[in-house]
Amino acid sequence: MEYGLPDYEFVQQFMNWEGGHFSKSRDRGVFVDEAVDMYPADYWRFYIARKLPTEQDTDFSWSEFESETNSVLNDTVGNFVNRTLKLIDRYSDGKIPEDRLRAVDDRKLEEAEELVRNYRDAFEDKNLKEALEASLELARLGDAYLSEQEPWNNEEARGPTLQVCSRIVRGVAVTMYPFIPGSAEEMAEQLGFELHDEEGYDEVMEPLAGGIMSGSEIGDPEPIFEKVDVSDRDEDNRQPDETEEEDNAHENTVSIDDFDAMDLRVGEVEEVEEHPNADRLYVIQVDVGDRTLQTCAGLRNHYEPEELEGRKVTVLANLESSELRGETSECMMLAADDEEGNVSLLQPNQNISEGSEVA
């Protein structure tokens, strides 16, 4: 059998939380399930793309998240798009102006096309941060041109300026799509065109070189982004101080009676199958001496099936039965994990019979 080997491996460093690794088990950091409830997914995608740790570790910072969202995503991208569309709505009856460009407009479009070429080259070099920066430069270019030409005051410059900026808005929407797809689609909808990401580079260059159809109607101009205030997030996500840790330690103590109630045994893994409805889970049969129990364990990213079958493990055998994605789980195999995400099953250091009590 012939295999298609990768011709490029995209490797990155760690994004850390306050100098240490993110850890779900230690409640260090912000995680996807809660992040999207705080702010839109595109805000997170944009921040992570800007902070992508390609050469060295980086630290997540709430203040930087706020700054990138407010000063860059909202003030640079969102402001340019919204200004352009509002001016078209106000001064051109909501329709793209006629394509009557001046020499100064042609020169500005040449600058825009150069930025799009830089964007393409960065993607071909697998440099996502540079590609995103080229897209941001495109928005900055258009915003500066609006301010320079003042189409709200200069009637002669109004039509060609808004024609040029409508092309640049389309270019921004297309180049931003890999990073903030939902927001890019909203830009396209407001400008009045359908965003076809499968068209690739030609989809970007065509609107810059040939323009958008004069007279086509735009949608209702609405702000794409909203500014965020993270002043309360540092408090919500800080690490507990020493006093809190001591209090938590006392609160989390268990009595000897509680411990005695747990039926901890040595088990032997008999069979391992992939869970049919969960990408990270195995369905595992474990012999605990007097019976075989089934468990659903999130080990697929850490162990191959053949590494588990025949392995002696430590099992909580009297765990209340539950159902995980349609499969019954009757026990728990004990494992340790560290801040780097490594997982290791707890097992006896010598051969001992399955069903042996752990005390």
Q: How is residue 30 written in tokens?
A: 């912000």
Q: What is the pLDDT of residues 49-106, one digit of tens each?
A: 998 877 778 888 888 999 999 999 999 999 999 999 999 999 999 999 987 899 999 9
Instruction: Please list the residues that pair with 284 across neighbouring strands.
Output: 272, 295
Number of residues assigned to the chain? 359
| 167 contacts: CB under 8 Å, gap ≥ 6 | 109, 112, 207, 208, 211, 212
Q: Give the residue-averaged pLDDT of 239-247.
A: 47
**pTM (2 decimals)?**
0.64
Answer whether 264's CB lies under 8 Å from 314's CB. Answer: yes
Residue 310's nearest CA partner among 345, 273, 272, 275 is: 272
pLDDT of 61: 84
- Rounded to whole angstroms, what are the CA distances from 168 to 99, 138, 154? 14, 7, 20
Judged by phi (left if over 0) then psi (alpha if -120 to 50, else beta), residue 187 lies in alpha
pLDDT of 199: 56
Answer whether 327's CB lies under 8 Å from 280's CB. Answer: no
Q: What is the pLDDT of residues 294-345, one digit of tens each?
A: 999 989 889 999 999 999 999 999 988 888 888 999 999 999 987 677 889 9
pLDDT at 260 > cutoff 80? yes
Which fold, 256-345? OB fold (Dihydrolipoamide Acetyltransferase, E2P) (2.40.50)
pLDDT at 230 > cutoff 70? yes
Q: What is the pLDDT of residues 147-198, one digit of tens each?
A: 999 999 999 999 999 999 999 999 999 999 999 999 999 999 999 888 765 5
pLDDT at 239 > cutoff 80? no
pLDDT of 245: 47
Q: What is the pLDDT of residues 92-143, one digit of tens each?
A: 999 999 878 999 999 999 999 999 999 999 988 889 999 999 999 999 999 9
Summary mean pLDDT of the chain: 86
What single-letter DSSP state applies at residue 126?
Answer: T
Answer whether 324's CB lies under 8 Å from 297's CB. Answer: no
Strand order in the sheet with 312-316: 292-297, 282-287, 264-274, 312-316, 332-333
pLDDT at 237 > cutoff 60? no
Q: Where are the domains of the chain?
A: 15-210, 256-345
Q: Give the residue-averaged pLDDT of 34-39.
A: 88
pLDDT-derived band at 207, boundaries 50, 70, 90: low
Q: How far apart are CA 34 and CA 18, in angstroms?
A: 18
Q: How far apart are CA 73 and CA 151, in angstroms?
A: 24
15-210 and 256-345 share one fold: no
pLDDT-derived band at 240, boundaries 50, 70, 90: very low
Q: How far apart are CA 129 and CA 112, in angstroms?
A: 18
Higher pLDDT, residue 78 or 235: 78
pLDDT-derived band at 247, boundaries 50, 70, 90: very low
CATH, range 15-210 = 1.10.730.10
